Amino acid sequence: MAYAVRISSRAQRDLALLYNWIGADNSVAALRCYRGLKRAILTLEELPTRGSRTPESLRHLLYGAKPHLYRIIYHIVEKQKHVEILHIRHGAWRAFR
C-alpha cells in the first residue's frame, strides 16, 4: 500500500532555499538536480523504509554525490500510512539539531 508523503513547512522552506542556493532557475543542470531531489522524496510513497535510521530515531535518505549530497530527514507514521518529511539539507551545512 502506498504511503502519502507530507512535506512539513520547514522542509518546504528548505526546498525553496535549496532551489535558490543551487540556482535552479538559472541552470539546466541545477534544475535537473532539484527535480531529482523531489523525485527521490516521492519514492518514499512506495518504499518508506528505504532510508537508514538516524541517531535521532528518525530516518534519512541521501540523494546525490559529494560535493552535492542532500539529506532528507523524515519519519513514518504507520497508523496513518504517511511519511512526514521534516528537513532537507545540503551535506555541507552544519549538523542537524
Residue 97 burial class via C-beta count within 10 angstroms: exposed 0-12, middle 13-18, buried 19 and up: exposed
Q: Which CATH superfamily is domain 4-90 in?
A: RelE-like (3.30.2310.20)
Q: Please tell me the predicted confidence (pLDDT) of residue 5.
A: 96
In the block, cell 504517511 appears at 82
Which string of DSSP letters, residue by residue, matches 8-62?
A: -HHHHHHHHHHHHHHTTTT-HHHHHHHHHHHHHHHGGGT-GGGSEE-TTSSEEEE
pLDDT digits (tens), the chain, 97 positions: 699 999 999 999 998 888 888 888 888 888 888 899 999 999 999 999 999 998 888 999 999 888 778 999 999 999 999 999 999 988 665 555 5
Domain range summary for the chain, segments of one domain joined by +: 4-90
pTM of the full predicted structure?
0.84
